[in-house]
Homo-oligomer: A and B are copies of this chain.
Amino acid sequence: MNWKILIVDDEPSLTALLRRQFTDCGYTVFAANNSSEALKLLKEQPDIILLDINMPGKDGLAFCREIRESVSCPILFLTARIMEQDKLAGFRDGGDDYITKPFSLAELTARVEAHLRREQRNKASSACLTSHGLTADLAARELSFEGESIALTRKEFDIVELLWTNSSQVFDREHIYESVWGLEANGNNSVVKEHIRKIRAKLLEATKWDFIETIWGIGYKWKK
């Protein structure tokens, strides 16, 4: 993920330092020396904002109050003020964190990443497997090929999930039975056979491609 970070500070040496740090970490950095410049850079839609409080012209707190409604990304205050009242004011005005100078670059970076991690988590969509145009959404229990949905039954989906998520492994029928059914296999593997057949039939019908490889005398494996 390539994050965009907006740094607002009137101290050029600090913005330069931060720019270097976050560029090194793979961020796209935008820097402003005052509130009005910062306002223009908002159109870049940063994912997170570092905001100095003490600035000539409009200060950071006022800037934060102004944009808070329309900007949803986390805003972290950077400041030399250590008075508790100032901190509280920062949070009250909509800040998400308050970091006092001097701070360590490592801690600042860790905090920035913690906030971004949370943002991403809140947006997170479920994990999908994809290969050869076939897509499986494990949470939604959906399988589709180029947008076309393929209906699988419960056990069929369980088997596909098992094979696909361990696609470098060969599973014998007993292993599949025990994994999917959660029971000990007692020589009873014709069920697995039949399900493999049905899965193959459905996938072949939809994709013209056999995703399951038979390892003769051993078992089955998902083709990569």
- Choose among B121, B139, B153, B218 the residue that contacts A154 (Cβ–Cβ < 8 A): B218
Whether a CB of chain B sits under 8 angstroms from the CB of A37 is: no
Whether a CB of chain B sits under 8 angstroms from the CB of A39 is: no
A 5-26 contacts with B by CB, 8 A: none
A 59-113 contacts with B by CB, 8 A: 72, 74, 84, 87-88, 91-92, 94-97, 104, 106-107, 110-111, 113
Interface string of A116-154 (1 = CB under 8 A from B): 011101100110000000000101110000000000011
Interface residues on A, range: 35 or more
Query: In the complex, A141→B215 CA distance in Å?
Result: 8
The A interface, classified by DSSP as helix, strand, loop or mixed, is: mixed
Query: In the complex, A84→B216 CA distance in Å?
Result: 57
Taken together, the copies of this chain in the complex come to: 2
Whether a CB of chain B sits under 8 angstroms from the CB of A45 is: no
B118:A217 contact, CB within 8 angstroms? no
- B-binding residues in A (CB < 8 A): 72, 74, 84, 87-88, 91-92, 94-97, 104, 106-107, 110-111, 113-115, 117-119, 121-122, 125-126, 137, 139-141, 153-154, 168-170, 215-218, 221
